[in-house]
Amino acid sequence: MRYYRDVILPALESGDIVSCQMQVSYELQEKFKHDNKTVQPIKYVADFVLTFGDGHIEVIDTKGMPDTSAIIKRKMFWYHYPDLTYKWVSFTQATGWIDYDELKKIRNQRRRERKLSKNGE
């Protein structure tokens, strides 16, 4: 809700974003039979699919700390939909909205700095 309010609504009002869909489902693996049993498909549901004024589309998922399932689904999404821009975004008080991978780099750097300062280096 916060991302919608902070980022999407202002961009819709300005015309930067022309369309916003929520909870769009993508199939990552189709269903199949194994030992005469049907194995259900693996699906991923995106938080937002945004179409921008210039025509490009971004699939956005808001993340705090992704679990292993989310990490695997992201890899599968990249494999099956290589032409779509797929982003994870996170919110922190220090950075506001930021790409999750950038936030992860910042957090790792802070950990290294704390470790160095604890070791007296």
27, 42 contact by CB (below 8 A): yes
Looking at CATH, the fold of the domain delimited by 2-118 is given as: Trna Endonuclease; Chain: A, domain 1 (3.40.1350)
DSSP-H helix ranges across 5-67: 9-14
Residue 81 in 3-state DSSP?
coil
Report which listed range, 25-29, 64-68, 115-119, is most confident: 25-29
- pLDDT tens per residue across span 44-77: 999 999 999 999 999 999 988 888 999 999 999 9
pTM above 0.75, yes or no: yes
